[in-house]
Amino acid sequence: MMPSSSPLVLRVAAMGVVLVFVQIGVVSEIPIFGVKADLSPLLVAFVGLLGGCTLGALTGFAVGLMIDLMLFQTLGLTSLVFTLIGYWCGRLRELRDPQGALVPLIVGCVAAAASLVGYSLMEFMLGVNAPVSFELLRQILLGVLVDTVLALPMYALVRRVLIGALPEDRNRRRRRAYTTGGLSPLSKAR
């Protein structure tokens, strides 16, 4: 017998595998303003935002590991950065329960910035011989801008794929009931 969260895990796994192949095969070959869009931190961030910190961290680790293995990069760097992104986006969901219309845009921007800056810092600390100049800063800023533009469609896609398998959050439903101006369950009992 499969656990109740298995449809969610299967959907996230399938979406992660498809996204990594599309990212490496198609999206990374199309430069926009001289930079290449990176959809993988957006996927990790939005899975964390919709599914919680555990699912976000696991997705970040798996997607990062697949990218490192397929691109023959330093094994574990992308996994580490993506695990942190997925975990913190999941914590944002669990602690603050963001519901604003601009939340996906802001989360996408922060995830892209954390991904690009985090990976650059890790490469620099490991001593990879890459020039650090204003060109790197330009690449990071333009990369964040391009990923921010792609954040809303990516959020809509991730939400569309996961919406049927996400467990209903009792705290979210309870908070909405109290903010609508209705009576609390304690005052109804009197």
Q: Is residue 64 part of a domain?
A: yes
Segment 116-166, tens digit of pLDDT: 999 989 888 887 776 677 888 999 999 999 999 999 999 999 999 998 888
Q: Is residue 91 part of a domain?
A: yes
Q: Is residue 65 part of a domain?
A: yes
How many C-beta atoms surround the C-beta of residue 91 within 10 A?
A: 16
Domain with 153, as residue range(s), is: 6-166
Q: Is residue 146 part of a domain?
A: yes
Which CATH number fits the domain that encloses residue 55? Answer: 1.10.1760.20
Structurally, the chain folds into a number of domains equal to: 1
The three-state secondary structure class of 35 is strand
pLDDT of residue 54: 93
CA distance 48 to 92: 9
Cβ atoms of 43 and 13 closer than 8 Å: no
Segment 29-74, tens digit of pLDDT: 898 888 999 999 999 999 999 999 999 999 999 999 999 999 998 8
Which burial class, exposed, middle or buried, applies to 142 when counting CB atoms under 10 A from its CB (0-12, 13-18, 19+)? middle
Q: Is residue 179 part of a domain?
A: no
pLDDT of residue 4: 57
